[in-house]
């Protein structure tokens, strides 16, 4: 099956926050610098997966290892974006628990022969919860309007991406039973959500606010 053109469009969208993050890197907060690093790694991840896909080779192992990197770095982004030590401790705890679950899965259960839906869903749930924590903290801070705060846009982007992917993964078996056309159509929706998330990340990087 040929690679859908929308895959290339969604892959190219990762360049937008990457370029924005690198251009503003020296003037950015620690959280946004970490997000910029994540965007660079995301470009490498997507590029490597596309390269292997075009060679008709399995690329699941890339997703499996990138998953812990993405979740850990997003945890760091949210950690440095909130002020409350209680919330920071909660975020660290969630990050550690996820890393331990991921390590157990990779060492004993994952053969990298197919998509690890279970770990993918756990990572999306973890990121979704972390984004809600960060957004709640941002809403309680009345010092600046939400639209001027980087963490607002980053949190919304992460929540949109995670919720969309989580829904797709949860329905993947049902969609496959309906037929490959339904499954591919659902992935198009997910790729569209990833593009939206990258645009939200870009907006967050361009905010003048440090938080």
Cα Dmax for the chain:
52
pLDDT, one tens digit per residue, over 34-60 is 999 999 999 999 999 999 888 888 888
Task: Indicate whether 197 belongs to any domain.
Answer: yes
Instruction: Output the CA torsion 104→129→169→163 (10° steps).
Output: -160
Task: Indicate whether 180 belongs to any domain.
Answer: yes
Task: Indicate whether 108 belongs to any domain.
Answer: yes
The pTM assigned to this predicted structure is 0.92
Task: Indicate whether 211 belongs to any domain.
Answer: no
Range of 142's domain?
5-206
Pick 53 or 2 by higher pLDDT.
53
**CA dihedral for 201, 203, 204, 205, sign (positive or negative):** positive
**Residue whose structure tokens are 């596309």:** 50
Distance from C-alpha of 175 to C-alpha of 17, rounded to nearest angstrom: 31
Task: Indicate whether 162 belongs to any domain.
Answer: yes
Round the average pLDDT of the chain to a whole number and report it. 89
Q: How many domains does the chain have?
A: 1
pLDDT, one tens digit per residue, over 141-165 is 766 778 888 999 999 999 999 998 8
């Amino acid at each position: 099956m040929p690679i859908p053109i929308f895959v290339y469009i969604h892959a190219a969208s990762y360049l937008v926050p990457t370029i924005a993050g690198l251009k503003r890197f020296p003037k950015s907060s620690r959280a946004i610098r970490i997000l910029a690093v994540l965007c660079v790694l995301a470009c490498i991840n997507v590029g490597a997966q596309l390269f292997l896909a075009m060679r008709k080779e399995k690329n699941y192992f890339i997703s499996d290892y990138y998953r812990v990197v993405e979740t850990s770095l997003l945890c760091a982004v949210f950690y440095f974006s909130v002020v409350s030590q209680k919330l920071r401790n909660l975020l660290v705890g969630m990050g550690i628990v996820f890393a331990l679950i991921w390590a157990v899965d990779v060492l004993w259960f994952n053969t990298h022969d197919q998509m690890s839906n279970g770990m993918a869903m756990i990572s999306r749930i973890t990121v979704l919860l972390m984004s809600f924590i960060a957004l709640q903290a941002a809403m309680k801070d009345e010092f600046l309007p939400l639209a001027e705060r980087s963490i607002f846009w980053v949190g919304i982007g992460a929540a949109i991406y995670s919720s969309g992917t989580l829904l797709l993964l949860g329905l993947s078996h049902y969609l496959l039973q309906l037929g490959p056309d339904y499954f591919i159509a659902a992935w198009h929706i997910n790729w569209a959500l990833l593009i939206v998330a990258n645009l939200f990340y870009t907006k967050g990087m361009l905010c003048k606010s440090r938080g």
